[in-house]
Amino acid sequence: MGELERLRKEIDEIDIEILRLLNKRAETVINIAHIKRNEKAKFYSPEREREILERLTSLNKGHFPNDTLKVIYREILSASLSLEEPLRVAYFGPQATFTHLASLRHFGSSASFLPVESIKGVFDAVDSGKTDFGVVPIENSNEGVVSSTLDLFMDYDLKISAEIMLEISHNLLSKSGDKAKIRRVYSNPQATSQCKRWLESNLPGIPLLESTSTAKAAEIASQDEEVAAIASEVAAKVYDLHFIEKDIGDSRYNFTRFLVISKDFPPKTGKDKTSIMFSIKDKPGALYDILSPFKRAKINLTKIESRPSKRKAWEYIFFLDMEGHIDDRKVRKAIDNIRDSCLYVKILGSYPHGGT
């Protein structure tokens, strides 16, 4: 037996052992499910999943890359959970949008996904109990905040249970992959705006037409050889499209932050963020008075955003992100200290920093 054949045989034996261990893990998961049912405990434990991923990546001293290890174990965890009770997740669809991709990254492909046509529809699905979780976009590093998501937190008593940071890569796709055949380009306005320089340089004079989503643009392109779509790699697979050009975005730093919403938020991990919303009394120095307790407590504020309340002229709602968990004494004390200066304060959630 030659060296190549010997090494291939070794790989085959390793694969068989991995398969045996995966099935042994599945048997243990099923036993855990029986215990959880008897004790009426929650099946999904995001803090436990995070602990597993962090432990494995910290122990990994070999050649296998940690980013890939996380992806593989996210799928193992997702498949394992589906043996207990599949998670129901609503996302701002349709299939193959970046929100769909963020949902897959966070929950794995074994979750039961429900695409809905609006961000409000995601809130409705979670609020009604139709799904356990929802995934919605909240801000893009280049385009700024998604105001409709912020507005909906005023109307629903839902919590932020996680955040997902997804690097956005825009691709030009078509049925043939031939740029010379393209007569029209479809995408949603945000994606088109983020690829403006590339489009002007490479497709001058080609009409840029609006679609409701990057996935809808891909669907249109799949039906017409003269149409190209700006969309994700997932959209290329779903709609059987070819790449004309990969990564055509003008900025090499393009991330979108997504929020996972649910009826509860997880216990603290030690690497958390807390989000609140509040309305302040109309008086000089009101916002300064609100921010001062956080400064005194040395709490890092990572974001502040204001929106019209839509209930009274010139009344504003402020959204604030800070480092720390609501169960941290200094965080809770700082929030308690601002209540007298506010018309109201609402805690939107405490959740692990940065997502996975």
For range 24-45, the mean pLDDT: 86
Q: One of 256, 265, 278, 294 is an active-site residue; which one?
A: 256
* Confidence label for 160 from pLDDT (cuts 50, 70 and 90): very high
pLDDT tens by residue, 311-327 = 666 678 999 999 999 99
Alpha-carbon Rg for the chain, nearest whole angstrom, is 23
* pLDDT at residue 67 is higher than 70: yes
Residues 6+ apart with CB under 8 A from 261: 122, 123, 126, 133, 134, 135, 136, 158, 159, 160, 161
pLDDT tens by residue, 138-159 = 998 878 888 889 999 999 999 9
Fold of 15-84: Chorismate Mutase Domain, subunit A (1.20.59)
Question: Are residues 211 and 255 in contact, defined by beta-carbon separation less than 8 angstroms?
Answer: no
**What's the CATH code, domain 88-168+255-261?**
3.40.190.10
- More reliable by pLDDT, 330 or 45: 330
**Summary mean pLDDT of the chain:** 91
- CATH superfamily for 172-245 is Periplasmic binding protein-like II (3.40.190.10)
* pLDDT at residue 355 is higher than 70: no
In the CATH scheme, what architecture does the domain 266-352 have? 2-Layer Sandwich (3.30)
**Across 45-49, 109-113, 248-252, least confident range:** 45-49
> In CATH terms, are 88-168+255-261 and 266-352 the same topology?
no
Give how far Cα 8 sits from Cα of 4, 14, 19, 72, 128, Å.
Answer: 6, 10, 17, 22, 53
Q: Name the burial class of residue 236, with classes exposed (0-12), middle (13-18) and buried (19+) by CB atoms within 10 angstroms of its CB.
A: buried
Residues 234, 101: Cα–Cα separation, whole Å? 7
68 is catalytic: no
Q: One of 92, 123, 258, 278 is an active-site residue; which one?
A: 258
For range 31-53, the mean pLDDT: 84
Question: What pLDDT, on a 0 to 100 scale, did the predictor assign at position 314?
Answer: 60
Q: Where are the domains of the chain?
A: 15-84, 88-168+255-261, 172-245, 266-352
Peptide bond into 94 cis (omega under 30): yes
Say what the pTM is.
Answer: 0.83
- More reliable by pLDDT, 333 or 354: 333
